[in-house]
Chains A and B, each alone.
Chain A
Amino acid sequence: MKLTPANPPVNWKGFMKSLHKPNVKVRSQIEFLQIIDQPPDSYSTVYTTLFECLKTASAKLMVITFDLPLWLKASRIFLEKGMPVIVRLGGFHTLKSFLGCVGYIMADSGLEDLMILVYPRDVTHIMDGGRYG
């Protein structure tokens, strides 16, 4: 991108906007849906969620995110029912569990002692991935 008299310098937001003009993404519409007053881990609740989402989305292909235990159930349901759904595995809990794995592998290596210098409390929780951020 070139700064010319015809293309004057703008503020940061405008600069980023003009820089990313070719690949603008569609703005999402975020809304709360009705709460399903059922135990969250039962198959029927997951099925209802998928069904209602499909009805609301009315798209050819729908993307939905679940975390681990529900993801297993949801992916089983959509495979059996042949729903036009992509079930994503939630990133946050995956990352938390991964941090736990790193803590497990690096246990007794001195990483805990290093961490204690920075975070005086709760190092065990950092090591098992319980504390993110």
Chain B
Amino acid sequence: MKNLVLTTRPELSRTRVIIRAYKKKFEILSSNSRTAALWTTYYGFIYLIKYFIRAERLHDFELHLAIVAKMLPIFAAAGRGQYSKALRLYLEQIHVLEIQYGALGKTFKVVGLQSAHSSI
């Protein structure tokens, strides 16, 4: 109990190894069969959804932007014209933001001012 030290590093690197192995397996599977390719794509969608929710809940704006950028081609592919248009404009605006407002824009991104914090 005395020597309990919390470090997440070894676990993290282990997860990374597993994720890399997953990706490799997925690539092999999807190059072998078209059905497998469809389901690995589906897994990709679910991954995006999970990370989008994570970004929203943790106020992680960088992650939010990265995921939105990845979502954009899928919106376009599914024929959601309104959203693919709006998301493109949105990404453009946010990227301009940092140039336009300098340090303020940066605080906005880092501190997570975009969402409400209900308790300390």
- From the candidates B45, B87, B90, B101, name the one contacting A61 in the complex (CB within 8 A): B101
Q: Which residues 1-40 of B have a CB within 8 angstroms of A?
A: 1-6, 38
A87 at the interface (CB under 8 A from B): yes
Nearest B residue to A30 via CB reads: B116
9-residue interface stretch from A32-40, A44-52, A91-99, A118-126:
A91-99
Query: In terms of DSSP, what is the predominant structure of the interface of chain B?
Result: helix
Q: Judge if B113 is at the interface, Cβ distance under 8 Å.
A: yes
Give min CB distance, B91 to chain A, whole Å: 9
Chain A residues contacting B3 (CB-CB under 8 Å) are 2
User: Contacting A28 at CB < 8 Å: which of B4, B64, B93, B117?
Assistant: B117
Interface of A is mostly: mixed
Do A61 and B105 form a contact, CB below 8 Å, given A68-B82, A102-B45? yes
A98 to chain B, nearest CB (A): 6
Binary A-proximity of B75-100 (CB < 8 A = 1, otherwise 0): 10111101100110110011001000
* CA gap between A28 and B80 in the complex, in Å: 35
Q: Number of residues in B with C-beta < 8 Å to the partner?
A: 48
Task: Known A2-B4, A89-B86, A98-B48; judge A111-B42 contact (CB<8 A).
Answer: yes
| Sample (27) of A-B pairs whose CB atoms are under 8 Å apart | A3-B4, A4-B2, A9-B1, A19-B6, A24-B120, A25-B117, A61-B104, A63-B108, A63-B113, A63-B114, A68-B82, A71-B90, A75-B93, A86-B97, A86-B105, A86-B108, A86-B114, A91-B52, A95-B49, A97-B75, A98-B52, A101-B75, A102-B45, A102-B74, A105-B41, A105-B45, A105-B77
